[in-house]
Amino acid sequence: MHIMEGFLPSPWWQIWWIISLPIMIYGIYKVTKLTKKMPEIKPLLALVGAFVFVISALKLPSLVAGSSSHPTGTGFAAVLFGPAITGAISVIVLVFQALLLAHGGITTLGANLFSMGIAGPAIGFFIWWAFKKARINPAIGVFAATAMADLMTYIITAFQLGLAFPDNGSVFTAFAKFFGIYATTQIPLAIAEGLLAVLLFSFLTKYKGSILQKLGILKIPTSNKTDEVNP
Q: Residue 228: CA atoms inside 13 Å, Cβ hemisphere, count?
A: 12
Name the stretches of the chain with pLDDT < 70: 1, 60-68, 220-231
pLDDT at 231: 44
pLDDT at 159: 95
Q: Which residues contact 117 (CB under 8 A, 6 or more apart)?
A: 20, 24, 74, 86, 87, 89, 90, 91, 93, 94
> Where are the chain's structural domains?
12-227
How many other C-beta atoms are found inside a 10 Å radius of the C-beta of residue 193?
A: 26
| Nearest CA among 9, 224, 217, 214 for reference residue 111 | 9
* E strand or H helix at 60: strand 60-61
pLDDT at 66: 52
pLDDT at 109: 96
Q: Where are the extended beta strands (E) located within 63-165?
A: 68-69
pLDDT in tens, 151-184: 999 899 999 999 999 998 899 999 998 888 777 7
Q: What are phi and psi of 46, to 5 degrees?
A: -65, -40
How many other C-beta atoms are found inside a 10 Å radius of the C-beta of residue 25?
A: 13
**Which residues does residue 69 pair with via DSSP β-bridges, in sequence order?**
60
Q: Is residue 170 left, alpha or beta, with left meaning phi > 0 and alpha meaning psi from -120 to 50?
A: beta
Distance (Å, whole) CA 59 – CA 69: 6
Distance (Å, whole) CA 132 – CA 145: 11
pLDDT at 147: 96
pLDDT at 65: 54
* E strand or H helix at 61: strand 60-61
pLDDT at 101: 87
CATH class in words for 12-227: mainly alpha
pLDDT at 64: 56
- Cα dist. 15→8, 18, 31, 122, 145 in Å? 11, 5, 25, 20, 28
pLDDT at 51: 95
